[in-house]
Amino acid sequence: MLKIRIFVFLSFGLGILFGNPDIRAQEKKVLRWAADAEGNAPYIFQDPKIPSNIIGFEVDIVKAICNVLKVKAKFVQNQWDGLIPGLERNDYDIAINGLEITEDRKQVVNFSDPYYVTHEQLVVMKGVDYINELSDLVGRRVGALKNSLAERILRAKGGINVITYEGEVNAFVDMKNGRIEAVLVDAPIALYFTGTNPEYRIVGQPIGEISYGIALRKGDTTLLRRINFAIETLKKSGKLREILEQWKLWNFMMSSFLSDFSPSNVPPRKYHEFLEAVGRRGDLVSRIWLYLDFMPLFFKAALVTLGISILAMLLAIFVGLVLSLMRVYGGKILSWFAIAYIEVIRGTPLLIQLYFIFYALPSIGIKFSPFIAAIIGLGLNYAAYEAEVYRSGLFAIPKGQIEAAISLGMHKSQAIWHIVIPQAIRIVIPPMTNDFISLLKDSSLVSIITMIELTKVYYQIASSYYDYLGTGIIVAIIYLLLGLPFVRLARAFEKRLVIESAAKRDKL
């Protein structure tokens, strides 16, 4: 009976997991474009004035393209590393975010014609006068973004100790702390970072050449032709130049690329707005005002984190209970299956599991939205741990309890459900609370599968404002506050349930 019951539970559970409707359905006339809003000024970043707004020169270009094509732009947030895999997942139609047109990438996706041409630029600390060109770097520690043209240039030069970073802010902070002596980055980054951080400065001549293109799926050739047509239109109409000039990005390379050598006549309005807005963070008072501005964003993100955590925990409790019952009462085959599941899940990193669910499963036709994938990933992972907790809880109930129930005519499954589980719950509540608190914290990992939750918002804001400390403390406090009520709740619940202590029961 029990076996049948578990099987029904299980298939019901799987039904929930895989019954998710395909979210691929897209409306016509909407161009879904993806980028990582994690603070790459001037590319795509949060508006310092209204943090929930996404701005940047690439945002302007996408809007202009959509204007030409007469379609509606729909922004899709995606981790920068995952922009190309996300195209293959069909989460969006195009990706644009400082994606350099390289031979490697061309193997996987199509690129539009370049919309911007620029170069690499050296940045050092103010007062460093012994670095002026590439050859000055030999024998020194130099930072660059991972997999960037800058990294390849530095490595090709030879003799340079290249340190790579995920984000440029980390590289600049490391340089300030003396761990590296120079940073080689794309010119727009250098321009905007040094503009808002006067202790850094740009040195030397332009190095190398980078072309940014819009990435599309290999198959989408019609869309590629339309995008190229739009870019061409923007180039001819001068709209592209206008956008770049507003952001102070018009450079000699663009001049020769577009054969347009006329003097600049559009003021770099958006560049100055950025400097002004970010400059606000100077003194403590304005900084606190700035943090208050972020609160709605943090609040929304905290709700997402909480929602994911609670739903994932519910899934973990359900699957964990089924697994533990399979393991304890399920007979050879079911218990073997449960053990295999638990060992595999506990023996592999959660991060890999999340990647697998989000990026690998779509290739065999199972596709989840980031929200569902996050819940499934966290839930199924924690189910393995919950199963072990419940197992020890079930074992802690004396065998005589089941026998007493069975000798009263109950089936084994009824005995487990009505007699064993209610008693086991008391035992497992404290460890479950601990698990929920860790799940809450582990939910920060789902930022890598494009979920915009608390940690992701922290990255976005911190890197937009080059402020990891203040926002970091705020986020830490929010995580702490999120967990507290559950600790309290569990304690109260526990108190109510523990009518008789284990010691008193032994008296019988």
Stretch of residues binding another protein (CB under 8 A), selected from 2-10, 253-261, 409-417, 449-457 = 409-417
Give me the phi and psi of 153, to 5 degrees please.
Answer: -65, -45
Can the peptide bond before residue 362 be classed as cis, meaning omega within 30 degrees of 0? no
Q: Least distance to another protein from the beta carbon of 325, Å? A: 18
Q: Least distance to another protein from the beta carbon of 416, Å? A: 12
Stretch of residues binding another protein (CB under 8 A), selected from 11-19, 311-319, 361-369, 493-501 = 493-501
Residue 63 or residue 418: which is nearer to another protein going by CB? 418
Q: Least distance to another protein from the beta carbon of 505, Å? A: 5
Taken as a whole, the chain contains a residue count of: 508
407 sits near another protein (criterion: CB under 8 A) = yes
Residue 419 or residue 445: which is nearer to another protein going by CB? 419
CB 459, CB 38: distance < 8 Å: yes
Q: How is 323-385 classified by DSSP, letter by letter?
A: HHHHHHHSHHHHHHHHHHHHHHHHHS-HHHHHHIIIIIGGGGT----HHHHHHHHHHHHHHHH
Candidates 155, 272, 418, 491; binder of another protein (CB under 8 A) is 418
Residue 70 or residue 495: which is nearer to another protein going by CB? 495
499 sits near another protein (criterion: CB under 8 A) = yes
Taking Cα atoms as reference points, which of 291, 308, 315, 349 lies closest to residue 441?
A: 308
Candidates 297, 419, 440, 449; binder of another protein (CB under 8 A) is 419
Q: Least distance to another protein from the beta carbon of 417, Å? A: 9
Stretch of residues binding another protein (CB under 8 A), selected from 90-98, 125-133, 170-178, 410-418 = 410-418
Residue 404 or residue 480: which is nearer to another protein going by CB? 404
How many helical (H) and strand (E) elements, i.e. helices and strands, does the chain have? 21, 12
How far apart, in Å, are the Cα atoms of 481 and each of 236, 301, 474, 478, 485? 54, 14, 11, 5, 7
State the sign of the Cα–Cα–Cα–Cα dihedral 83, 85, 88, 89: negative
Stretch of residues binding another protein (CB under 8 A), selected from 31-39, 75-83, 372-380, 402-410 = 402-410
| Contacting residues for 464 by C-beta, under 8 A, at least 6 apart | 38, 39, 41, 45, 46, 48, 51
| β pairing state of 182-186 and 141-145 | parallel
Q: Least distance to another protein from the beta carbon of 332, Å? A: 8
CA dihedral 282→288→293→294, nearest 10 degrees, is 90
Q: Least distance to another protein from the beta carbon of 394, Å? A: 14
With H, G, I as helix, E, B as strand and everything else as coil, classify residue 24. coil
Please report which helix (H) or strand (E) contains residue 33, including its range: strand 30-35
Stretch of residues binding another protein (CB under 8 A), selected from 100-108, 316-324, 395-403, 488-496 = 395-403
User: Looking at this protein, which amino acid is placed at residue 114?
Assistant: P
How many Å apart are CA 250 and CA 44, to the nearest integer?
Answer: 17
Residue 6 or residue 278: which is nearer to another protein going by CB? 6
Stretch of residues binding another protein (CB under 8 A), selected from 106-114, 350-358, 369-377, 417-425 = 417-425
Taking Cα atoms as reference points, which of 388, 412, 409 lies closest to residue 399?
A: 412
With H, G, I as helix, E, B as strand and everything else as coil, classify residue 20. coil
414 sits near another protein (criterion: CB under 8 A) = yes
411 sits near another protein (criterion: CB under 8 A) = yes
Size of site (CB under 8 A) for another protein: 26
Stretch of residues binding another protein (CB under 8 A), selected from 136-144, 335-343, 420-428, 432-440 = 420-428
Stretch of residues binding another protein (CB under 8 A), selected from 139-147, 208-216, 306-314, 413-421 = 413-421
Candidates 28, 332, 495, 496; binder of another protein (CB under 8 A) is 332
Q: Least distance to another protein from the beta carbon of 406, Å? A: 6
Candidates 70, 495, 496, 507; binder of another protein (CB under 8 A) is 507
Residue 258 or residue 339: which is nearer to another protein going by CB? 339
Stretch of residues binding another protein (CB under 8 A), selected from 209-217, 345-353, 379-387, 408-416 = 408-416
Q: Least distance to another protein from the beta carbon of 3, Å? A: 11
For residue 160, count CB atoms less than 10 angstroms from its CB and return exposed for 0-12, middle for 13-18, buried for 19 or more.
Answer: buried
409 sits near another protein (criterion: CB under 8 A) = yes
Residue 270 or residue 426: which is nearer to another protein going by CB? 426
Give me the phi and psi of 92, to 5 degrees please.
Answer: -160, 175
- Kindly identify the residues of this chain, within the stretch 147-166, that bind another protein according to CB under 8 A: none
How many Å apart are CA 497 and CA 415, to the nearest integer?
Answer: 19
Residue 158 or residue 400: which is nearer to another protein going by CB? 400
How many Å apart are CA 483 and CA 323, to the nearest integer?
Answer: 26
| Contacting residues for 80 by C-beta, under 8 A, at least 6 apart | 36, 38, 97
Taking Cα atoms as reference points, which of 37, 97, 147, 35 lies closest to residue 463?
A: 37
How many Å apart are CA 491 and CA 18, to the nearest integer?
Answer: 35
404 sits near another protein (criterion: CB under 8 A) = yes
422 sits near another protein (criterion: CB under 8 A) = yes
CB 216, CB 87: distance < 8 Å: yes
Residue 28 or residue 332: which is nearer to another protein going by CB? 332
Q: Mask of contacts with another protein, 425-444, x by CB under 8 A?
A: -x------------------
Binding interface with another protein (CB under 8 A): 332, 398, 400-401, 403-411, 414, 418-419, 422-423, 426, 499-501, 504-505, 507-508
